[in-house]
Structures are given as structure tokens and as C-alpha cells.
């Protein structure tokens, strides 16, 4: 099953190094969570900020010899030579803690401090067919092409794939330490990230043994995992003797953070849908059409985020619950009609039970008549984490036609879908908080 290994990570030099850096000025959110404004902020924070490697700026005169990928490779090479990034002398695992508050999330328990713990290691890259690594989302070609060009140029992994495993607690207990962390940084969202290097061979051996019977699920990082898989296959094909593979070659592994899916601090936030720019939209027509698929209660308007979240949470205790809000009205959709199964095609009962599948297949495709392709390309739809921000799109210009607010998916649903070799619609899960990039770096050479 899961084959994990310690590694000699490259890490930013501390304040006493030859090129000292402040961690908060050089680490970043994952590349796909870096907005243009955040990119600018990272560029201004430090000349050694990781954004220059994982999401560099394009330049007017870019060409095949000088572009974001070649510059990323140059930064990676130069920072190692200058001592900005230094390699740990001993193969290690890295215990990783994230302390955070859910204030403003709308989730039950909001405002309380939580701590999610895991560990960073190398994980063997496996084909999905091997039954070791499971996915729960589809991937898109464009992001994978971008990440593959970066990997080819740099031969390095700068962020971790977020992996879930199931355990009663022994793995986590093996890695607890009373010592001060080697890295401590608070990110722009107030999350405290702490990392402890674990180099004791006996502890490492125990963790590897405890993980050896585990199957793992990709929580975040599907595109980067499949990019690493493609690159592994390229390296195998380009070997001097194709067909004779080195089972422990660097390209056979990718950097992962492993988190126990039974951790009570494993949080999934909802991702709400904002539908806009429809050529024609009628609140009454939407209501009448949706009644064929759901029981519908009209909620007194106006409705704010706190009230919407409370209504969804309470109704969601007994099953599917979706709140559809327009500029003037609000509809609570619940208890899907079991006779509407024809709209789901070949989807399993497991998939049909997901609120996000009910939303996509019934409301977006069959009621609003958006095509799967237009949804995939986000032509008339945008995705928003915060309920208040989503509702804000109903005011001002351009004004949304309708906003769909949702409850979060449950971890058990992700597990069951993944282990059944099924997938969810895009933007079904939003694991919070994100894993920082740049805490540890894995170089293939």
C-alpha cells in the first residue's frame, strides 16, 4: 500500500544562515490560490519569495529560451548555490501542524481554535489502477500542462500533495514532539503553520510500517499529482534501458502531506455558485421548473449570510439542502424527488446523494439549461467560498441572476466516492486551511 520515504528537504535558511530570510516573507499559498493581488504582494515581500518559481510573472519579451519556466529554473539553481535554500543533512520526515480559527466560515463551531496535524514525506507515485492512491475530482488539461512545463524546467516539487489516510491515531502520536518547531509562520489568513524535522531512524521506520497498509486519497493537488505521474512516465520512457526502471529513482516520488481523515480538525468548507449573464432569467420560471425535482419552501427576503448558513445547516441534518437566492426572493430546496433519476445518467446512488451533484445535474443543467462544457469553462458561473461575498453578487453591476448557497461536503462522502473509484463535480471540496508551499522543497537532482 502507501510507500512513504524520508528525504533531505531543501529549506529556506533561517535568520542565522548565509542568506537569511524571514519565513513569512518567502512561503506562499498553493499556486492555484494565488490571485494577481497576492502575487504582487509576494513579489514585494522578498526577492527570494517562492512565487518567482511556482507562479512567476510573464514578460513582454518571453520566448522559448526565456520565459516563466526558464526563470523559475534559474531561481531554483541560484538560490541553492547562494545558500538561500539549504538541504538538510539527514533524511527526515517533517511533522506539520496548522492552528486556525473558523471565524466567519459559517461552519458549526465557528470561532473556536482548531489544530490539524499531519506529516510531510515522499510518497511513491502510483497509477490509480494500483488501488493505492485514489482521487475524488476530475482534472483539466490546461493546469496540468502548465505544471508539467514547470516540473520539466526545475526538476523540483515546491508544495505538497494533500493526502488523506484513515487511522485511529498511532501514526500521529509517533511524530509528536515537545521541542520547539523548526519552522513557525503565520500566513495571511491568520493560520499558524509549524514544522518539526524528525530524523530519528527508529521513529521513521515505525511511521513507514504504520503507513504500509494504508490507502490514500488526494484531498488537494489532483493536477500536481497527475503531473508528477506524467513526468514519472516520461522519465521511465527516456531511461537508457526503457523497461528496466529504478524503483527508487527520484522521479518515482512526489512530496506529500499526510493527514488522518479522522482528525476532527479536518475541515471542508462549502463552495457556493454564482450564476450570471443568463440571456433570460425568471424567478418564477426557476421556481416552477425546480418544483419538479425538489420540495421548495420560500424564505422571507432579504436574507444575510448568517441566517442563510443557519437555515442550510438545520435543513441539511436530514439530507440535501440548497438555498437559491435572487435579488428579490429566496428558495430552500430539499428532499429531492426520487423519480427524477433520469437526469443523473449513469451516476451511482452515492454520487446522486451529494448536494453538489443535485445542484449541477438538476438545477444548473436541467433547470437553467447550462451545458456541462459551459460549466466546466465557467462561462456563466463563478465559485465563491464566502456566503456573504456570494450574496454580494446580487447587488451592483454586473448583477448575478441567482446564487446557490450550499452546505459543505462531508469527509465520509469524499472517502466513499474516492474508494468507489468515482469522482465529484469540480469545486466540490474546499479543504481548509491550505498547505503552504515552500516549507520543504524536494529536488530531483
With a CB cutoff of 8 Å and minimum separation 6, the contacts of 232 are: 125, 251, 252
> At residue 199, does pLDDT exceed 50?
yes
Quote the CA–CA distance of 277 and 282 in Å, as a whole number. Answer: 13
- pLDDT (average), residues 119-142: 94
> At residue 173, does pLDDT exceed 60?
yes
Quote the CA–CA distance of 258 and 172 in Å, as a whole number. Answer: 10
Q: What pLDDT score does 111 carry?
A: 65
Q: Is 9 exposed, middle or buried (0-12, 13-18, 19+ CB in 10 A)?
A: buried
Contact 131, 262 (CB under 8 A): no
Q: What pLDDT score does 244 carry?
A: 55
With a CB cutoff of 8 Å and minimum separation 6, the contacts of 145 are: none
Q: How confident is the model at residue 128 (pLDDT cuts 50, 70, 90)?
A: very high
Q: How confident is the model at residue 107 (pLDDT cuts 50, 70, 90)?
A: very low
Instruction: Read off φ and ψ for residue 51, nearest 5 degrees.
Output: -55, -30
Contact 164, 217 (CB under 8 A): yes
Contact 56, 72 (CB under 8 A): yes
- pTM as predicted: 0.91
Q: Provide the H-helix boundaries in 137-259.
A: 141-154, 170-174, 201-211, 222-237
Reported as a single tens digit per residue, the pLDDT across 13-47 is 875 556 678 999 999 999 999 999 999 999 999 99
Q: What pLDDT score does 303 carry?
A: 92
Q: Which of 140-144, 161-165, 389-393, 398-402 is predicted least confidently?
A: 140-144
> CB neighbours (10 Å) of residue 209?
11
Nearest alpha-carbon partner for 132 in 250, 266, 4: 4
Q: What pLDDT score does 245 carry?
A: 64
Quick one: which H or E segment has residue 367? none
Instruction: Read off φ and ψ for residue 299, nearest 5 degrees.
Output: -100, 140
Amino acid at each position: 500500500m502507501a510507500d512513504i520515504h524520508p528525504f533531505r528537504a531543501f529549506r529556506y535558511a533561517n535568520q542565522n544562515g548565509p542568506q537569511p530570510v524571514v519565513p513569512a516573507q518567502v512561503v506562499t499559498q498553493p499556486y492555484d490560490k494565488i490571485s494577481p493581488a497576492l502575487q504582487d504582494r509576494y513579489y514585494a515581500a522578498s526577492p527570494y519569495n517562492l512565487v518567482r518559481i511556482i507562479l512567476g510573472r510573464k514578460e513582454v519579451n518571453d520566448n522559448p529560451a526565456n520565459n516563466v519556466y526558464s526563470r523559475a529554473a534559474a531561481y531554483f539553481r541560484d538560490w541553492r548555490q547562494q545558500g538561500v535554500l539549504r538541504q538538510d543533512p539527514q533524511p527526515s520526515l517533517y511533522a506539520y501542524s496548522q492552528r486556525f480559527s473558523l471565524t466567519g466560515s459559517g461552519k458549526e463551531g465557528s470561532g473556536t481554535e482548531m489544530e490539524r496535524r499531519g506529516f510531510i514525506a515522499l510518497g511513491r507515485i502510483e497509477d490509480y489502477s494500483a488501488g493505492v492512491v485514489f482521487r475524488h475530482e476530475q482534472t483539466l488539461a490546461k493546469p496540468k500542462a502548465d505544471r508539467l512545463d514547470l516540473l520539466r524546467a526545475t526538476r523540483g516539487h515546491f508544495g505538497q500533495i494533500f493526502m488523506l489516510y484513515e487511522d485511529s491515531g498511532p501514526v500521529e502520536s509517533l511524530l509528536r514532539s515537545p521541542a520547539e518547531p523548526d519552522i513557525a509562520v503565520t500566513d495571511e489568513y491568520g493560520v499558524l503553520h509549524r514544522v518539526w524535522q524528525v530524523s530519528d531512524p527508529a521513529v521513521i521506520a515505525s511511521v513507514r510500517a504504520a503507513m504500509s497498509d494504508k490507502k490514500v486519497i488526494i484531498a488537494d493537488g489532483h493536477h500536481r499529482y497527475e503531473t508528477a505521474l506524467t513526468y514519472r512516465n516520461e522519465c521511465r520512457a527516456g531511461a537508457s534501458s526503457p523497461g528496466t526502471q529504478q524503483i527508487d529513482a527520484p522521479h518515482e516520488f512526489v512530496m506529500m502531506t499526510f493527514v488522518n481523515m479522522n482528525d476532527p480538525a479536518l475541515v471542508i468548507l462549502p463552495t457556493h455558485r454564482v450564476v450570471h449573464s443568463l440571456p433570460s432569467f425568471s424567478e418564477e420560471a426557476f421556481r416552477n421548473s425546480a418544483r419538479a425535482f425538489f420540495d421548495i419552501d420560500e424564505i422571507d427576503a432579504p436574507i444575510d449570510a448568517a441566517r442563510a448558513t443557519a437555515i442550510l445547516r438545520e435543513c441539511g441534518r436530514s439530507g440535501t439542502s440548497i438555498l437559491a437566492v435572487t435579488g428579490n426572493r429566496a428558495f430552500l430546496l430539499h428532499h429531492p424527488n426520487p423519480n427524477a433519476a433520469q437526469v443523473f445518467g449513469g451516476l451511482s446512488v452515492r454520487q446522486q446523494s451529494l448536494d453538489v451533484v443535485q445542484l449541477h445535474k438538476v438545477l444548473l443543467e436541467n433547470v437553467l439549461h447550462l451545458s456541462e462544457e459551459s460549466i466546466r469553462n465557467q462561462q456563466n458561473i463563478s465559485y465563491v467560498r464566502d456566503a456573504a461575498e456570494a450574496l454580494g453578487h446580487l447587488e451592483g453591476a454586473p448583477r448575478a441572476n441567482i446564487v446557490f448557497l450550499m452546505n459543505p461536503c462531508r469527509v465520509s462522502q469524499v472517502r466513499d466516492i474516492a474508494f468507489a473509484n468515482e469522482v465529484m463535480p469540480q469545486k466540490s471540496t474546499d479543504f481548509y486551511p491550505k498547505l503552504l508551499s515552500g516549507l520543504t522543497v524536494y529536488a530531483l537532482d
